[in-house]
Copies of this chain bind each other. A is one copy, B any other.
């Protein structure tokens, strides 16, 4: 078991990473956020797999536990469900001494975190991420929120957890496609910040694929450590530095939108998006062909897509990219690699370079 500290002044907190440690949830809770009342938010699938068991551990430790299991999927990040949760918390006598515990993937962390950020102007909040994506991405950063009808993550807050409990054993129940999607973000950290880590993943592919607990704990810890470095330097996304985490996301978001968030998982879209960004960087003479191939090879090794599916309209993707909320002064800001382990924000990219070369090169 290892502990990683995220340093954010009075909002600092620990991430505990290990195998089987979720069974000790009551101890972690009392260490991080002593309370007598827990609001456990999960989804219906995770509730059956893990939520119910974790709630029992808390109840056995003498805590009062109210469980809210919401429907599975992105549609639960809605304003209507948010209001329903607010009203339910009130009915259950939730007060400032209560602690919200999120058990689930990114949707649950975002929704439960926003409830925590707003109920009585702020409740303490513990995350128990159950997907690889949530373990390496949502655990660090404090971004919580919901979707509006026409725009994802449009409403929310920065609300840091009081602790994050990452048990890699929980990944055993994760569908393989979801595990792969999480690997896209893991690989991303290597590309943008840490060439050695990228190489470690290359050299330990089979251990990761076999869910070796030590290998999983290593990639999760390293990913959280790298993301924490970025978040510590730019907690509220004000300096611009945090934007490097969006590597692959400008193309990725457009791909998700073009497929109406149905056919591609977020991590899959990011995998393709990273290839597009790498190809664009190659077009601009920033990286060589070898860089692109090495990235594509590692993504493919985890069964991630590396080409834009043939049925996606190239013009639609480009049009959607220009609607991405990260458009600054009507110029798209791209996060582009210069070498393995380093990216830069580039805003003066010629439209034609984006259009004709990078996208074409990535077409399936």
Contact = CB atoms under 8 A, between A and B. Distances in A.
A79 B119 CA distance: 12
A119 B87 contact: no
Interface string A237-275: 100000000000000000000000000000000000000
A154 B122 CA distance: 10
Interface in A186-220: none
Nearest to A79: B83
A320 to B, nearest CB: 16
B325 A95 contact: yes
A117 interface: yes
A150 B95 CA distance: 14
A154 B119 contact: yes
Interface residues of A, number: 26
B158 A121 contact: yes
Contacts of A325: 95, 120
A50 interface: no
A158 B96 CA distance: 14
Interface stretch (A141-149, A169-177, A304-312): A141-149
A157 interface: yes
Copies in the complex: 2
Contacts of A13: none
Contacts of A158: 121-122
A118 B145 CA distance: 8
B90 A79 contact: no
A291 interface: no
Interface in A103-144: 117-122, 143
A151 B156 CA distance: 22
Contact of A157 (B79, B87, B157, B236): B157
A121 B156 contact: yes
A120 to B, nearest CB: 6
B154 A86 contact: yes
Given A95-B325, A325-B95, A118 B86 contact: no
Nearest to A82: B79
Contacts of A95: 325
A155 interface: yes
B119 A155 contact: yes
